[in-house]
Structure 1
Amino acid sequence: MTDDKNFQDLGANLPENDEDFRKIVLVDDKGNTYDYTVLFTFDSEDYDKSYVIIYPTSEDESEILNLEAYSYTLDPNGSGTFGDLKAVEDEKELDMVEEVLNTFWDENGNDEGDS
């Protein structure tokens, strides 16, 4: 599995509650393309990075989503149109991303409650 992927068509500053979710295409190191939907993006001042939470577009919405989190940096113009996604591997950084994701679910009424 490749940790770093290229992304296309990711606009900076996506609204967190945008009903018109954005589509991106990931390209692996062999040139294979994969369609993804952006769930939301956010910035972290602690890590000085931007993050995107995505899931494969082809997934059935009735199934559990396979969410993936990546960090990215904007180009000098503040655009995220082309660039590299970096897998989040640091444990503390992963904890921060998970906390933001849990807050997102809670605020959007997607909390499944305790099992």
Structure 2
Amino acid sequence: MTDIHDDTLVLTDELGNEITAKIILTFESEEFNKSYVVYQLDDEDEEEYHAASFNPEDGDEGTLGQIETDEEWDLIEEVLESFLEEDEEEQE
């Protein structure tokens, strides 16, 4: 189960513990007909990213899905790299 507030994602693990994460970006893929969220856990290295699929119709609460194929991972990495490059250019 997840709960989304602005740029924060609250995940609940299998033991019921809440884990806070920062949402880096969300995007939709027509190719896979899915929406994705890329996030960082608050207690991890800034270079560590996680990703999951989600149903935007669930609103602020819902379930994250696993990334199922290497093709999906390739897409996510490509979108994330582009986003980080654009963000870096804006900060210069």
| Contact 1:24/1:36 (8 A) holds in 2 | yes
Decide which of 3, 12, 24 is 1:8's aligned counterpart.
3
Match of 1:50 in 2: 35
State which structure, 1 or 2, has the greater radius of gyration over its C-alpha atoms. 1
| Contact 2:21/2:41 (8 A) holds in 1 | yes
| Contact 1:10/1:82 (8 A) holds in 2 | no
1:9 Cα deviation from its structure 2 partner: 2.0
Size of the alignment, in residue pairs?
Answer: 89
User: After TM superposition, which residue ranges in structure 1, 4 or more long, deviate above 6 angstroms?
Assistant: none
Q: TM-score, normalised by structure 1?
A: 0.69
Q: Percent identity?
A: 31
1:107 Cα deviation from its structure 2 partner: 1.2
1:107 and 2:89 aligned:
no
1:109 Cα deviation from its structure 2 partner: 1.6
**Alignment deviations for residues 26-61 of structure 1 (CA, whole Å, 9 cap, x no partner):** 0012211101010111111111111101001234xx
Q: TM-score, normalised by structure 2?
A: 0.84
**Structure 2, unaligned runs of 5 or more:** none
Q: Which is richer in helix?
A: 2
| Contact 2:11/2:21 (8 A) holds in 1 | yes
Alignment-mate amino acid for residue 53 of structure 1: V
| Contact 1:39/1:54 (8 A) holds in 2 | yes
| Contact 1:50/1:73 (8 A) holds in 2 | yes
* Match runs of 1:59-70 below 5 Å: 59=44, 63-70=45-52
Taking the aligned partners of 1:50 and 1:102, their CA distance within structure 2 comes to 17
**Structure 1, unaligned runs of 5 or more:** 1-5, 12-21, 111-115
Residues 10, 51 of structure 1: alpha-carbon distance in 2 compared, 3 angstrom cutoff: farther
Give the secondary-structure state (helix, strand or coil) at the position aligned to 1:31: coil
Q: Which has the higher contact order (CA 8 A, sep 6+)?
A: 1
Match of 1:37 in 2: 22
| Contact 2:40/2:46 (8 A) holds in 1 | no
